[in-house]
């Protein structure tokens, strides 16, 4: 009577040892062209509308950093870009105040709404950059800040009980302001872009372009492009991230003609031929900010907001953050070190 269960056990043990025959991988069928008119409307195209509705409900984050010496109109330009006071001019300093000894990082957050779409915009200003006599390594606090945001995101991502939507404070775009000298880039400009282009999307901008003649502007733009190329500095959009021929054609035009954008910013309105325009008043007339014959502000605005905003976010996530994440996990054998805070979270989850 006892033999039954023993035999059954042996059989079970044997069946565990004998590997099951491997199933052949299923070869996917070739897609067959379906005559839609025969079957009628399916509704696959509504996915775009569904995605739009979801995005409109949740809104999205966009974090833009401005870097350059004081007096180049960084705050004004960002205010002009988003047509509102998103960057406080007081983030600099008055003449009575002392110039900061080191670079400060000031982040100001806003929610901008247009056409039912909400954007959580953060403007990160860097007062004190390049204003000292000795500007050695003054990009270090900026690089540290950018990496800290990647670290913050990574810690949230590897949490056991992670948030459904991780707050995104990563810097998606860095506008680097070049002084309109008409000569060449300063060593500081080259050093900054060399160090930072590996960790953030840098868009070079020639500030206060109305201080140069058209010939000087064209010549200076060509010189800057040449210097960046000679020094092996990759700015956004990087050649290797062009996904298809259409992207490559569009981005090549930007890289070879538009970059660096020679811009003028202004948040003051004037009447020109019966129309209200943003501009700067000079003894010779009004420089219209959004007039392409006057400056390239409209090109920069269209590039950053209307055509490449989503791509800036994707390159930040898929390239810069991924590079940071891979290095961090690799150095650490898999995970960031357990801090007291993460240990407590871990225990409470258990």
Q: Is the pLDDT of residue 17 over 70?
A: no
The domain that holds 229 is classified in CATH as 3.40.50.300
Cβ within 8 Å of residue 142, ≥6 positions away:
65, 67, 103, 105, 126, 129, 192, 196
- The span from the first CA to the last CA of the chain, in angstroms, equals 46
Select the more confidently predicted residue: 34 or 317: 317
- The number of beta carbons lying within 10 Å of the beta carbon of residue 288 is 21
CA distance 298 to 292: 7
Q: How many domains does the chain have?
A: 1
When pLDDT is averaged across residues 26-43 and rounded to a whole number, the result is 65
Q: Is the pLDDT of residue 148 over 80?
A: yes
For residue 90, what pLDDT is reported?
47
Owning domain of residue 315: 61-261+292-332
In a domain, 198, yes or no: yes
In a domain, 325, yes or no: yes
Residue range 190-231, pLDDT digits in tens? 999 999 999 999 999 998 888 888 888 889 999 999 999 999
In a domain, 266, yes or no: no
For residue 227, what pLDDT is reported?
93
For residue 99, what pLDDT is reported?
59
Proportion of the chain above pLDDT 70, given as a percent? 79
For residue 77, what pLDDT is reported?
85
Residue range 58-108, pLDDT digits in tens? 888 999 999 988 888 888 888 888 877 776 654 444 555 555 666 788 898
Residue range 280-295, pLDDT digits in tens? 777 777 887 777 778 7
Lowest mean pLDDT among 34-38, 128-132, 166-170, 268-272: 34-38
Q: Is the pLDDT of residue 346 over 70?
A: no
Pairing of the two strands 269-272 and 275-282 = antiparallel
For residue 345, what pLDDT is reported?
53
Proportion of the chain above pLDDT 90, given as a percent? 25
Lowest mean pLDDT among 21-25, 101-105, 271-275: 21-25
CA distance 66 to 79: 12
Lowest mean pLDDT among 45-59, 180-194, 332-346: 332-346
Residue range 228-258, pLDDT digits in tens? 999 999 899 888 888 888 888 888 888 888 8
User: pLDDT band at residue 21, thresholds of 50, 70 and 90?
Assistant: low
- The pLDDT mean for the chain works out to 80
Q: Is the pLDDT of residue 23 over 70?
A: no
User: pLDDT band at residue 164, thresholds of 50, 70 and 90?
Assistant: confident
Quickly tell me which residue has 């070869």 as its tokens.
27
In a domain, 30, yes or no: no
User: pLDDT band at residue 149, thresholds of 50, 70 and 90?
Assistant: very high
Quickly tell me which residue has 């930072």 as its tokens.
196
Quickly tell me which residue has 């920069």 as its tokens.
300
For residue 19, what pLDDT is reported?
53
CA distance 170 to 66: 14
């Amino acid at each position: 009577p006892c033999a039954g269960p023993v035999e059954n056990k042996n059989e079970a043990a044997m069946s565990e040892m004998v590997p099951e025959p491997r199933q052949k991988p299923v070869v996917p069928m070739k897609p067959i062209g379906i005559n839609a008119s025969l079957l009628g409307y399916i509704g696959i195209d509504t996915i775009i509308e569904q995605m739009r509705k979801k995005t409109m409900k949740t809104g999205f984050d966009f974090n833009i950093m401005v870097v350059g010496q004081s007096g180049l109109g960084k705050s004004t330009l960002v205010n002009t870009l988003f047509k509102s006071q998103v960057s406080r001019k007081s983030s600099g300093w008055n003449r009575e105040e002392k110039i900061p000894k080191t670079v400060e990082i000031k982040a100001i957050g806003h929610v901008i709404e247009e056409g039912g779409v909400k954007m959580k915009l953060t403007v990160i200003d860097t007062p004190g950059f390049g204003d000292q006599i000795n500007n050695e390594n003054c990009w270090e606090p900026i690089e540290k800040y950018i990496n800290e945001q990647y670290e913050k995101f990574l810690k949230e991502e590897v949490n056991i009980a992670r948030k459904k939507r991780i707050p995104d404070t990563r810097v998606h775009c860095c506008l680097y302001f070049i002084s309109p000298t008409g000569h060449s880039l300063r060593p500081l400009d080259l050093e900054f872009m060399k160090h930072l282009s590996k960790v953030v999307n840098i868009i070079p901008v020639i500030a206060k372009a109305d201080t140069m003649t058209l010939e000087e502007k064209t010549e200076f733009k060509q010189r800057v492009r040449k210097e960046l190329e000679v020094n092996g500095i990759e700015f956004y959009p990087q050649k290797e991230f062009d996904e298809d021929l259409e992207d490559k054609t569009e981005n090549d035009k930007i890289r070879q003609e538009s970059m660096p954008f020679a811009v003028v910013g202004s948040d003051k309105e004037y009447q020109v031929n019966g129309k209200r325009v943003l501009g700067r008043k000079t003894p010779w007339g009004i420089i219209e900010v959004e007039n392409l014959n006057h400056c390239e502000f409209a090109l920069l605005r269209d590039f950053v907001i209307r055509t490449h905003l989503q791509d800036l976010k994707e390159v930040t996530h898929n390239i810069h953050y991924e590079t940071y994440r891979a290095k961090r996990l690799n150095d650490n054998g898999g995970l960031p070190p357990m801090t007291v805070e993460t240990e407590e979270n871990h225990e409470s989850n258990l």
